[in-house]
Structure 1
Amino acid sequence: MIWYFLIIVALIYLIFASITDIKTREVPNWLNYSLIAIGLGSRAIYSIITQDKSYLIYGLIGLGIFFIIANIMYYAKQWGGGDAKLLIGMGAMFGNYEGIKYLNPVFDLPFILILIINILVAGAIWGIVYSTYLAIMNNKEFVKNIKENTHKNFIYLIIIGIIIIILSLIINNEFRFLIFILGITLSLLPSTYIFFKSVEKSSMYKKVNIERLTEGDWIAEDIKKGNKIICSSIKNKNQYEINDNKKKINKFFNKIKYLPFKKYLLKFLITRAEKSINYGLTKDDIKRLKDNKIKVVIIKDGLPFVPGFLIGFIFTLVYGSLFAVFRVFF
């Protein structure tokens, strides 16, 4: 059956992608594009063999749905381009899934929906685990940043949250569960912010030789030669590009006197321009740094998210719906 082939290929690709993501924080384009090609190609061949075009149609539907989700995550700055393309490849591979022998997962929702939910949940759990590992490996800097990031207001919120949790355990009425959730939220939000901010400052900034820079790397601070800025940091670069794009769009629209819905169209284009800003280094940026003989720069690393894809995929194959598993235990 086609499912054995697709599963084996997907596992090999996800394992390789996970290793490269952890080591280099990148997923090669050739891997992502070849996964899409294999997914659609194998489904097309199987459709011809079985004379059932639904296999190819489901592959195209999966690619389309995951393309939309991948772009949402990318423009929300939650994933990099490699993560987004890999998800699109998984959509082409598993637009639908009919199961294999020996595994008995529970599918109480469409497979593609179960897969994306499991990937997102597994990615969140993996992010916490990996961040904890980074905190342990850089414990001195982490503790120092914990102290710097722990403001009085955060402490007050955590204390209030704990008090609300205790009250929810004492009282006995119909709103008890909602009060408990409120307490957990007030306690966890500031705690989570402090934790991840401290991990970021203590573990995600590193010096890199100019020869090892790649497109998409995030520069942590402005790089200057004398008083001249050669390459801007993530934050400043984005603001410079946003302002430049706004000027160009406004200049173009000022030349057009009569245009229906001009105000709303202008607003839409400016919003799109802000969202489409390239957050990382470009080829021109790297060339400019080399031309100015810059040897070392400080870049900001992100968390490797691809292992979450692998964990979520395996969980889906073995157990199926996360909600169904919860219902069994709770």
Structure 2
Amino acid sequence: MNFSSIFLIQITVTVLFSLCATIFDVRKGFVPNLLCYILIAFGLFSNLILSLISTNIKFILASIISMVITYSITYMLWQLSIWGGGDVRLFTGIATVIPFGLNIDFLHIFPVLSVYPFSFSVVINSILVSFPFLMVFVCYAIVKKDLFQNNIDILFNVFSVDSLNYIKEKTLNKTIPVREIKEGNIVNSYYFDDEHISDLIGEEDGNLKVYENTDKGCKYYFKSISAGGITKKEESLLKIMSVQGFIDNRISIKVSYPFTPAIVAGLLIAVFYGDIMMIFAKNIMLVI
């Protein structure tokens, strides 16, 4: 039985939801949870329908397995601050709707499939596609901040470890007034001695975590523990502590870089062309 029409609906819905997520991420700085949950529900429902029509459990089973595995892997990468929580949920939604690569005969769509789940192809494609975006972003920040004007040595040693760390520090971080901080911002290390601050942050049990400082100077420091950024309660707490004089009125945060455009690009490439790594490997084999 040919399910190309249903596959096309799944692809269309997934792309549309991913585009909506991108619009929210770029304009608002976050991906709505509801959007991702609806996509996950659609994935389970559509693959259940496919299983019922075909009397083959593989569709819904693959959907559930793909959902669980993708969530687990992308969640671990979220813990490493690779991307935000919204990206994790979006990847999970995509994995639930499209658990394996789809061929659509009447549109002549035959992507190069990988040996791993389709969602992993989307993840890998997204990461590879994100590098050009990131390079453009960093170059723009370098030009805008005119980093080399007073640091000409950096320009001539741009690929040294010190130079790269300097560029990273200056382009991917910024200091803002605490009153302007908002939910989702990723807070860099803030050093302090007051144990009361440690207690207040510990009570929230959110994205901020307090550590003991082993270097000379302040006893403690706090920072965001993941790319999800601070919660709404932590936003309020930081503003209150700033007003009351517990912390300074300025704080360092990481410059936000929306990853959803790369996810959409990775998804489209995976759907219409296939896995970039497999395409590359295939071309290498042809050359050899």
Normalising by structure 1, we get a TM-score of: 0.63
Q: How does 1:130-209 map to 2 (within 5 A)?
A: 130-136=137-143, 138-140=144-146, 142-143=147-148, 147=151, 150=154, 155=157, 187=159, 193-201=165-173, 204-207=174-177, 209=179
| Partner secondary structure for residue 238 of structure 1 | strand
How far is the alpha carbon of 1:325 from its aligned partner? 3.4
Tell me the amino acid that sits aligned with residue 102 of structure 1.
Answer: H
Which residue of 54, 57, 78 corresponds with 2:58? 54
Structure 1 residues 193 and 320, CA gap change in structure 2 (3 angstroms):
farther
Aligned to 1:118: 125
Q: 1:199 to 1:287 in 2, by over 3 A?
A: closer
- For the residues of structure 1 that align with 2:231 and 2:132, how far apart are their CA atoms? 32
CA distance in 1, matches of 2:258, 2:73: 18
5+ residue gaps in structure 2? Answer: 202-207, 215-223
User: CA separation of 1:324/1:292 partners in 2, compared to 1, >3 Å: closer, same or farther?
Assistant: closer
Question: Residues 116 and 52 from structure 1, CA distance in 2 versus in 1: closer, same or farther, beyond 3 angstroms?
Answer: same
Which shows bigger deviation, 26-35 or 102-111?
102-111
Match for residue 235 of structure 2? 286
Instruction: Give unpaired runs (5+ residues) of structure 1.
Output: 159-186, 244-275
Q: Percent identity?
A: 24
Task: Output the amino acid matched with 1:76.
Answer: L
1:236-257 CA deviation, whole Å, 9 max, x = no partner? x5334899xxxxxxxxxxxxxx
Instruction: Give the distance between the partners of 2:212 and 2:195, measured in 1 at CA.
Output: 20
Please report how far the alpha carbon of residue 66 of structure 1 lies from its aligned counterpart in structure 2 after TM superposition. Answer: 0.6
Q: CA deviation at 1:79?
A: 1.2
Counterpart position of 1:66: 70
Structure with higher helix content: 1
Is 1:103 equivalent to 2:109 in the alignment? Answer: yes
- Count of aligned pairs between the two proteins: 254
Deviation for aligned residue 1:191: 6.2
What's 1:217 paired with? Answer: 185
User: Aligned partners of 1:59 and 1:283: how far apart in 2?
Assistant: 33
Asked whether the 8 Å contact 1:205–1:301 carries over to 2, the reply is: no
Q: Does 1:238 align with 2:218?
A: no
Do 1:20 and 1:26's aligned partners in 2 also have CA atoms closer than 8 Å?
yes
TM-score by structure 2 length? 0.71
- Contact 1:35/1:89 (CA < 8 Å) preserved in 2? yes
Q: Distance in 2 between matches of 1:284 and 1:323?
A: 42
Deviations 1:154-206 (A, max 9, x none): 93xx7xxxxxxxxxxxxxxxxxxxxxxxxxxxx586665454333214xx444
RMSD: 3.8
Corresponding residue of 2:13: 9
- How far the C-alpha of 1:150 sits from its partner, in A, is 3.6
Equivalent AA in structure 2 for residue 41 of structure 1: F
SS in 1 for 2:258: coil
**Contact 1:119-1:312 within 8 A present in 2 as well:** yes
**Structure 2: distance between partners of 1:242 and 1:72:** 26
- Counterpart CA distance in 1 for 2:65 and 2:149 is 49
Task: Point out the structure with max Rg over C-alpha.
Answer: 1
1:80 and 1:89 map into 2 onto residues whose CA distance is 15
Residue pair 1:223, 1:229 contacting (<8 A) in 2 also: no
* 8 Å CA contact retained: 1:242, 1:277: no
Q: Alignment partner of 1:98: what SS? A: coil
Name the CA distance, whole Å, in 2 between partners of 1:196 and 1:150.
Answer: 12
Query: 1:181: which partner in 2?
Result: none
Q: Is 1:328 aligned to 2:277, yes or no? A: no
Superposed CA offset, 1:90-141 (max 9, x none): 11111113311232322253452433321221123332233334444x243x
| 1:13-38 superposed Cα distances (whole Å, 9 cap, x missing partner) | 11121222222331111112111111
Q: Counterpart of 2:283 in structure 1: which amino acid? A: V
The CA deviation string for residues 221-266 of structure 1, in whole angstroms up to 9 with x for no partner, is 7599x9985987xxxx5334899xxxxxxxxxxxxxxxxxxxxxxx
The CA distance in 1 between the partners of 2:126 and 2:116, in whole Å, is 14
